[in-house]
Amino acid sequence: MTRLRTAIPGPRSLELQARREGAVAAGVRSTLPVYVASAGDGLLVDVDGNQLVDLASGIAVTGTGNPAPAVAEAVHAQIDRFSHTCFMVTPYESYLEVCEELNALAPGSHEKRSVLLNSGAEAVENAVKIARHVTGRQAVVVVDHGYHGRTNLTMALTAKTMPYKHRFGPFAPEVHRVPTSYPLHDGLTGAEAAQRTISAIERQTGAGTTAAVVIEPIQGEGGVIVPAGGFLPALARWCREHGVLLVADEIQTGFCRTGSWFACDHEDVVPDLVTTAKGIAGGLPLAAVTGRAEIMDAVHAGGLGGTYGGNPVACAAALGAIRTMHDRDLNAAARRIEKTVLGRFGTVAEKTGAIADVRGRGAMLAIEFTERTPDVAARVAKTCHEQGVVVLTCGTYGNVIRLLPPLVIPADLLAEGLDVLEGALLA
Ligand code: PMP
């Protein structure tokens, strides 16, 4: 079925792109400058009437749909009642409900508390604030290929210079980077990789001065890197033994994306603090830090917050999104997507020497090319885009095609998108 009416981008999108150049800062880039008019479960409809198959979900945000009916309903109902009071001035119930959901869903059966914020980067900033406050230590350890945001502290935590950090320094101090587990490249078992990581922390930073290790349980922007089994549990054990807080950045992996509520669940890792954003609120800006009650409650009153954090419309959306995840069993949906994609592209990889690895969990999947330059991934992505399929590239070397389809994407639409990707891979 042809979903395209014009070349991609179409004439109206090109017109808007030209207008954008006179209005929007050039530093803001779009993967595919096709201007969106409306969307559905796995489809984006552009201003030229083209239908695009969405295998990106706005970078792992619209997993529940665009929007899920329950999100749309909750948002409409809330905006008709009130739009904002500021939770720090006069609170409202939905903020409590979102925190209760987060505390119940986040890994571990211990008592938890949450604080709501606006963006992933802000959540990570707050997790570091809390960890430093509670431990009285300053050093923060992060790993190679990590991505945590674009604010000053989170740029320091992020590994890749171009485009995230180039000429934006000086960066926040007391951030120490150590190796991680990247099975395709290092060939290490989880235990060996953890030993390498731990020994680098002990040598370079010192356990006694380290407040936290901040790590994505599956690295997203860095290349959808799934650490070898046993790596995260060993790191968590070492953190516990040394009073170092383990901060799991689940901003991209959380909320059913990897086929469980959180990626830490796959190996029963229980972090001290978890950061969430993206998929939590079905497209509205909301983020959170959730953690052990005694850690979260140690911060003085007024030490955490912000004008918009936990905005009531975003909270309503989150409650609608979480309900959708339960009602439609989106963990199972993500696991189905994993089976389809890994099965299919495992076979494709056998037909071409260009593919080094096909990996991922749930609906967070990737194809890494043998060549460690962005050329092949960029060509494949461009071919997909021209045929109306939205895919992303990522990776420290830019040599990874990343798939983050909506968890609610119908099977036939997913197959249609994957057909195009397969064609591009074999071209
Ligand atoms: N951490 C991770 C793991 C992310 O994937 C992202 C966003 N890609 C962020 C933090 C930053 O989130 P935001 O863009 O909402 O600030």
Please state the three-class secondary structure of 85-103 as a single string.
Answer: CCCCCCCCHHHHHHHHHHH
Q: Which residues of 289-300 are buried (b: 16+ CB within 10 A; e: fewer)?
A: bbbbeebbeebe
Centre of ligand 1 to C-alpha 153, Å, is 13
Q: What is the DSSP letter of 159?
A: -
Token pair for residue 60?
A: 């792992």
- CA-CA distance, 13 to 36, in Å (whole number)? 9
- Cα of first residue to Cα of last residue in the chain, in angstroms, is 21
Mean pLDDT of 322-350: 96
Residue matched to tokens 């299919």 = 344
Grade residue 382 by pLDDT with cuts at 50, 70 and 90.
very high
Based on the number of CB atoms within 10 Å of its own CB, is 200 exposed (0-12), middle (13-18) or buried (19 or more)? middle
Q: Which atom of ligand 1 is nearest to the CA of 220?
A: 5
Contacts 24+ apart (CB under 8 A), 235-242: 235/194, 235/197, 235/198, 236/269, 236/270, 236/271, 238/194, 238/198, 238/201, 238/207, 239/213, 239/272, 242/207, 242/208, 242/210
Please determine, for residue 245, whether its predicted confidence score (pLDDT) is greater than 80.
yes
Centre of ligand 1 to C-alpha 221, Å, is 9
- Pocket test of ligand 1: the residue of 31, 125, 147 to mutate, having most ligand atoms within 8 Å of its CB, is 147
Centre of ligand 1 to C-alpha 262, Å, is 15
Grade residue 292 by pLDDT with cuts at 50, 70 and 90.
very high
Centre of ligand 1 to C-alpha 202, Å, is 28
Q: Which atom of ligand 1 is nearest to the CA of 59?
A: 8
Q: Look at residue 1 in the predicted model and tell me its pLDDT.
A: 57
Residue matched to tokens 């083209």 = 50
Q: Look at residue 394 in the predicted model and tell me its pLDDT.
A: 98
Helices 330-351 and 411-426 cross at an angle (nearest 10°) of: 20
pLDDT 10s digits, 172-210 = 999 999 999 999 999 999 999 999 999 999 999 999 999
- For atom 1 of ligand 1, the residue with the nearest CA is 148
Q: Which residues of 28-56 are buried (b: 16+ CB within 10 A; e: fewer)?
A: eeeebebbeeebbbbbbbbbbebbbbbbb
Mean pLDDT of 362-389: 98
Centre of ligand 1 to C-alpha 124, Å, is 9
Please determine, for residue 157, whether its predicted confidence score (pLDDT) is greater than 80.
yes
**Domain residue ranges in the chain:** 11-54+329-426, 69-327
- Pocket test of ligand 1: the residue of 164, 252, 274 to mutate, having most ligand atoms within 8 Å of its CB, is 252
Lowest mean pLDDT among 1-10, 217-226, 416-425: 1-10
Answer CATH for 11-54+329-426 from 3.40.50.2300, 3.30.70.980, 3.90.1150.10, 1.10.1040.50: 3.90.1150.10
Q: Which atom of ligand 1 is nearest to the CA of 285?
A: 15
- CA-CA distance, 209 to 205, in Å (whole number)? 7
Centre of ligand 1 to C-alpha 121, Å, is 6
Please determine, for residue 109, whether its predicted confidence score (pLDDT) is greater than 90.
yes
Please determine, for residue 409, whether its predicted confidence score (pLDDT) is greater than 60.
yes
Q: Look at residue 324 in the predicted model and tell me its pLDDT.
A: 98
Centre of ligand 1 to C-alpha 307, Å, is 20
Please determine, for residue 296, whether its predicted confidence score (pLDDT) is greater than 60.
yes
Centre of ligand 1 to C-alpha 120, Å, is 5
Q: Which atom of ligand 1 is nearest to the CA of 122?
A: 16
Please determine, for residue 33, whether its predicted confidence score (pLDDT) is greater than 90.
yes
- For atom 13 of ligand 1, the residue with the nearest CA is 120
Lowest mean pLDDT among 94-103, 336-345, 346-355: 346-355
pLDDT above 70 covers a percentage of the chain that reads 100
Pocket of ligand 1, beta carbon within 6 A: 59, 119-121, 124, 147-149, 216, 220-221, 249, 251-252, 277
- Pocket test of ligand 1: the residue of 124, 251, 264 to mutate, having most ligand atoms within 8 Å of its CB, is 251
Q: What is the pTM of this model?
A: 0.98
Q: Look at residue 52 in the predicted model and tell me its pLDDT.
A: 98
Contact 236, 245 (CB under 8 A): no
Q: Look at residue 23 in the predicted model and tell me its pLDDT.
A: 98
Centre of ligand 1 to C-alpha 413, Å, is 27
pLDDT 10s digits, 207-224 = 999 999 999 999 999 999
For the domain made up of 69-327, the CATH class stated in words is alpha beta
pLDDT 10s digits, 389-408 = 999 999 999 999 999 999 99
Centre of ligand 1 to C-alpha 336, Å, is 25
Mean pLDDT of 355-378: 97
- For atom 14 of ligand 1, the residue with the nearest CA is 120
Q: To the nearest whole number, what is the mean pLDDT of the chain?
A: 98
Chain centroid to Cα 140, Å, comes to 20
pLDDT 10s digits, 118-127 = 999 999 999 9
Q: Look at residue 2 in the predicted model and tell me its pLDDT.
A: 80
Q: Which atom of ligand 1 is nearest to the CA of 252?
A: 5
